[in-house]
Amino acid sequence: MPNIVHEVWKVLDENPSIRREMSRGLINTSALARYLIKEKKINATLDAVIAAIRRYQLDELDDIFNKAYILLSQTINISTKSNLAEISLIKDDDVQKILPRLFSIIHYIRGDVLRVTQANETIRILIDDKNMEKVIKLFPKNKILSKEKDLAEINIYIHPKMQTTPGILAVIANELANNQINIVEAMTCPPEMIWVVKKDQLVKASDVLFKLCQK
């Protein structure tokens, strides 16, 4: 029996997604035991595996994620926008001087998108596809590192408590990854949380996040 317990606990330790669902009370113990016996090749009786699962102690980290899931269910609103593009630039004085000229191209009143993020060495600009060529013309070619079209964003209007709750970003990223959705970029500007994905994954990604935030 001790070897069976150790084997079951090892599998659970290595599968945080299972532990999170256990902490939320969403996993049927008998079904999980059958899954472990079949998929993880645990050589034991069903009753022995069930007993091992029931003795497993969920740690404090799983409780943190459980609280994050609960708070996500209080999401205020989710919106989407497609046909976006992103330009990556070298971060230097020349580029910094050109950036203010973006505001003569981007028309917020018409619903145009302009999101600027910067790190130590690069600046990334997220804009509408229709404005890409006009924006590119502003910058010397040797300042442009990359260009990417056919992007989309999912904008989550978060509950105020999410800003101080650990695990929110991790839970969302985990749900997207589990559904084979690649995150191109993520950014926050409270009360908004923005996830950028490829346009052909927008419908699937928005469905995943809508279901997550409605649980």
- Supply angle C-alpha 102, 134, 151, rounded to 5: 90
Do residue 132 and residue 169 come from a single domain? yes
Instruction: Look at the chain and report how many structural domains it folds into.
Output: 2
Residue 71 in any domain: the answer is no
Residue 128 in any domain: the answer is yes
Residue 172 in any domain: the answer is yes
Do residue 26 and residue 130 come from a single domain? no
Nearest to 85 by CA among 131, 121, 120: 131
- Name the residue range of residue 209's domain: 77-214
pLDDT at residue 130 in the model? 95
Question: Are the C-beta atoms of residues 193 and 145 closer than 8 Å to each other?
Answer: no
Residue 114 in any domain: the answer is yes
As a whole number of angstroms, the distance between CA 208 and CA 211 comes to 5
Helix, strand, coil fractions of the chain, as percent rounded to 5: 55, 25, 25
Rama region for 140: left / alpha / beta (φ>0; ψ in -120 to 50; rest): beta
- Predicted TM-score (pTM) above 0.85: no
Lowest mean pLDDT across 78-87, 119-128, 204-213:
204-213
Do residue 108 and residue 183 come from a single domain? yes
Q: Which residues contact 156 (CB under 8 A, 6 or more apart)?
A: 75, 77, 78, 172, 192, 193, 194, 195, 209, 213
pLDDT per position as a tens digit, 146-155: 999 999 999 9
Please report which confidence band the pLDDT of residue 59 belongs to, taking 50, 70 and 90 as the band edges: low
Residues 180-190: what's their mean pLDDT?
93
Residue 28 in any domain: the answer is yes
As a whole number of angstroms, the distance between CA 38 and CA 32 comes to 10
pLDDT over threshold 90, residue 2:
no
Question: Are the C-beta atoms of residues 202 and 186 closer than 8 Å to each other?
Answer: no
Do residue 34 and residue 133 come from a single domain? no
Do residue 52 and residue 119 come from a single domain? no
Which amino acid is present at 103? F
Which amino acid is present at 155? N
Give the CATH number of the domain where residue 180 resides: 3.30.2130.10
Is residue 59 classed as helix, strand or coil in its secondary structure? coil
As a whole number of angstroms, the distance between CA 138 and CA 31 comes to 59
Do residue 142 and residue 179 come from a single domain? yes
Q: Which residues contact 172 (CB under 8 A, 6 or more apart)?
A: 72, 156, 193, 195, 209, 212
Do residue 101 and residue 204 come from a single domain? yes
Do residue 154 and residue 209 come from a single domain? yes
Do residue 91 and residue 8 come from a single domain? no
Which amino acid is present at 29? T
pLDDT over threshold 60, residue 60:
no
As a whole number of angstroms, the distance between CA 104 and CA 115 comes to 15
Do residue 81 and residue 130 come from a single domain? yes
pLDDT per position as a tens digit, 89-101: 999 999 999 999 9
Do residue 144 and residue 191 come from a single domain? yes
